[in-house]
Structure 1
Amino acid sequence: MGPGPGTGRTTGRSAGGDLGAAFGASNGASTGADSEAGADVGGGADARTGAAAGYRPRGTLRVLVELRRQWRRRRTQLVFALIALLPLVLVAAFEIGGQDPARSAVTYADLAVTSGPNFVVFTLYLAGSLLLPVVVALFFGDAVASEASWSSLKYLLAIPVPRLRLLRQKAVTAALLSLLALGLLPVVALIAGVIWYGPGDATSPAGDAVPFGRSVVMLAVAVGYTVVQLAWVGALALWLSVTVDAPLGAVGGAALASVLSQILDQITALGSFRDLLPTHHAWAWIGLFATDADVTGMADGLLVSLVYALVFGVLAAYRFSRKDITT
């Protein structure tokens, strides 16, 4: 596949692969259009805009092409492999560790080995504090900053891919990868839990029990809530990604913000101000497994998270639309 004008071929897969595979690259009138990226760029130019004849902004950087491009990265494959392995590691830990007979209080860790749904609840509860926010921050924080660090961002925009379209396509791709990753964890956990501990009711430490069929539906709702609730992490990471130009800084900054919010949420002296923290309602989905399911906390959590996501998303778009990408 021919390289874009003046770009050559980016070195190695670590530099994001061949840019021509991600978008329609034009090399004057002779190269024509790259059909995979869908940018129909031919020879000649539009007298009014100066763009190549047949150039369509909506045909550049298609989501499926960008998704395939990101999936081929070792980073993405490693993340999914680790997520798939986590439930198996937990099963092995329970088999090796056993139970503590001296402990009288019943916890989610104790209930995890009683049924498949309980094992999924414990896995989500455990991963929700750090692993899941880091995964979301990784996909969003790396979206634009990696292109800037590889010096390929200016070539993407010179194709030209409109700035806001590039940001949107990157965000949609990161959201799809996050959704797949966050959905993979409970699926593997449920399969492993049913095999090792059998199907059964989902029970809470308070003694509430939810039948297996209904518990699977509630788990799907819990995962959906978690995905939307973590939208603020993705939006923050995206804003940092277009600001700092360093993938590690963007990912680490968003993950650190999540940890800091959880720490502040433990300070009871803050009172009602804790309700404004984006992580205050992160585990509100636990209420789904009570006899009388309470979704009030989930509604509040979604509202707070979406407000933060909207603010950070607008900041990301504003910053990127005015960003100097020549250096």
Structure 2
Amino acid sequence: MTATPSSPVSPPAHPSPSGAAHGYRPRRTLPLRVEAVRQLRRRRTLAAGLVLAGLPLVLIAAFAIGGEPEPGGRRINLMDTATATGLNFAAMALFVSAGFLLVVPVALFCGDAVASEASWSSLRYLLAAPVPRARLLLSKLAVALAFSAAAMALLPLVALAAGSAAYGWGPLELPAGGTLPAGEALGRLAVAVAYVFTGQLVTASLAFWLSTVTDAPLGAVGGAIGLTIVGNILDAVTALGDWRELLPAHWQFAWVDVFQSELEWGGMLRGAALSVAYALVLFALAFRHFRTKDIVS
């Protein structure tokens, strides 16, 4: 009998150097659109959007009931010209909400990003996928910042539309006198919104860092809001002198300079540089802590 040759056998697939399954690509895990859809479906996202979109309507109703705003004494501010045009109303809405209201959604989106997954015990399953920790954290941070930026833009956009319907469209009347053409005023309003978002990076990074430290979402959100309020209180202590300039809260309203006849960049540049510096340090601490965090504890 003649021996028949054995049938050829294909060589086994070579495992990846990291021991992961064949064909596994870390960069393809947890796409941003998946994380964005998950966050968009959360009830707190809808609630935050409704509050921000509803504030301009509440302000219009308040002006309709109370009448035209009266000058606030010697200090002329954006409230004095709030009902002049839709642009004035949008600037005023940003002015009254930047100090606290816009802090809340930023702290909510960033503080809830990781802590909520840990509290639901779903974080360990995400990492068992396996999703690299840096990839997971970067995805959540990008989506949280994107939603925070959307919150910053939602309120002035709704205020601009509602204010234009209520008070008409026209040039922006400056509180100190004079006007800005509508096109130029729109650009300056965009600069103001961008600066407000940059200033909120401190709250965002603080909330995100706390979110990697604790498994309680309310603790991360509340801690970031609480420390932001402490910063505002310290800035009001004039006895601190020049030390207040190291507080992000000291520069939070530097964007008001855009609503002058001559745009002033000095305060905004100093405030933006300080906010970015604080944010980079806190974001680095978040990634450093999460890299070694015991997920199953």
Same fold (TM over 0.5): yes
The amino acid of 2:35's aligned partner reads: E
CA distance in structure 2 between the aligned counterparts of 1:298 and 1:181, rounded to whole angstroms: 21
Query: 1:166 aligned to 2:136?
Result: yes
Aligned counterparts of 2:17 and 2:191: Cα–Cα separation in 1: 51
Shift of residue 145, structure 1, vs aligned partner: 0.2
Give the Å deviation of 1:314: 0.6
- Normalising by structure 2, report the TM-score: 0.91
CA contact (8 A) 2:26 2:132 kept: yes
Among 293, 303, 307, which residue is 2:263 paired with?
293
Matched, 1:183 2:191: no
Distance 1:173 1:68 in 2: 10
| Alignment of structure 1 residues 244-323 onto 2, 5 Å | 244-323=214-293
Q: CA deviation at 1:45?
A: 7.9
Evaluate the alpha carbon distance shift between residue 102 and residue 183 of structure 1 in structure 2; reply closer, same or farther with a 3 A threshold.
closer
Deviations 1:245-298 (A, max 9, x none): 111011111111111111111111111111110121111111111111101001
Shift of 1:195: 0.9
Q: Is the 8 A contact 1:134 1:255 kept in 2?
A: yes
Q: Specify the alignment match of 1:326 in structure 2.
A: 296
Matched, 1:220 2:190: yes
C-alpha separation in 1, matches of 2:200 and 2:58: 24
CA distance in 2, matches of 1:284, 1:79: 25
- Higher RCO (C-alpha under 8 Å, 6+ residues apart): 2
Contact 1:111 1:203 in 2 (8 A): yes
Question: Any idea what the Cα deviations from partners look like across 1:24-61, whole Å, max 9, x if unmatched?
Answer: xxxxxxxxxxxxxxxxxxxx882643211111111111
Q: Show CA shifts across 1:220-261 (max 9, x none).
A: 111111112211111111000000111101111111111111
Q: SS of the residue aligned with 2:23?
A: coil
Local SS of the residue matching 1:131: coil
Q: Does 1:139 align with 2:92?
A: no
Question: Aligned partners of 1:264, 1:203: CA distance in 2, in Å?
Answer: 33
Q: Is the 8 A contact 2:63 2:69 kept in 1?
A: no
More displaced stretch, 209-218 vs 86-95: 209-218
Determine the structure 1 residue equivalent to 2:15. Answer: 46
CA distance in 2, matches of 1:255, 1:241: 13
When residues 82 and 45 of structure 1 are mapped into structure 2, their CA distance, relative to the original with a 3 A threshold, is farther
Instruction: Give the match for residue 39 of structure 1.
Output: none
**Match of residue 78 from structure 1:** 47
- The answer as to 2:8 corresponding to 1:59 is no
- What residue number does 1:156 align with? 126
Inter-partner Cα distance in structure 1 for 2:16 and 2:263? 63
| 2:82 pairs with 1:112 | yes
- 1:198 matched to 2:172? The reply is no
Distance 1:303 1:145, change over 3 A: same
SS of the residue corresponding to residue 169 of structure 2 reads coil
Q: Where does the alignment leave 5 or more consecutive residues of structure 1 unmatched?
A: 1-43
CA–CA separation in structure 1 for the residues paired with 2:17 and 2:185: 60
In 2, Cα distance between the equivalents of 1:59 and 1:300?
Answer: 39
5+ residue gaps in structure 2?
1-12
Matching residue of 2:6: none
Contact 1:87–1:189, Cα closer than 8 Å, also in 2: yes
Q: CA deviation at 1:86?
A: 0.9
Letter matched to residue 203 of structure 2: V
For the Cα contact (< 8 Å) 1:225–1:285, is it kept in 2?
Answer: yes
* Amino acid of the structure 1 residue aligned with 2:114: V
Indicate if the aligned counterparts of 1:45 and 1:51 stay in contact, CA closer than 8 A.
Answer: no
In structure 2, distance between residues paired with 1:206 and 1:212 = 17
* Inter-CA distance 263–103: structure 2 relative to 1 (3 Å threshold): closer
- What is the Cα deviation at residue 101 of structure 1? 6.1
Compared CA separation, residues 164 and 97, structure 1 to 2 (3 A): same
8 Å CA contact 2:72, 2:80 repeated in 1: no
Query: For this pair of structures, how many residues does the alignment match?
Result: 285
TM-score by length of 1: 0.83
How far apart are residue 88 of structure 1 and its match? Answer: 0.7
C-alpha RMSD of matched pairs (Å)? 1.8
Aligned partner letter, 1:140: C
Amino acid at match of 2:49: F
Q: Supply the distance in 1 between the matched residues of 2:70 and 2:25 (Cα, whole angstroms).
A: 68
Aligned residues: percent identity? 49
The offset of 1:312, in angstroms, is 0.3
Contact residue 45 and residue 52 of structure 1 kept, 8 A: no
Whether contact under 8 Å (2:68, 2:83) holds in the other structure is no
Report SS of the residue matched to 1:78.
helix
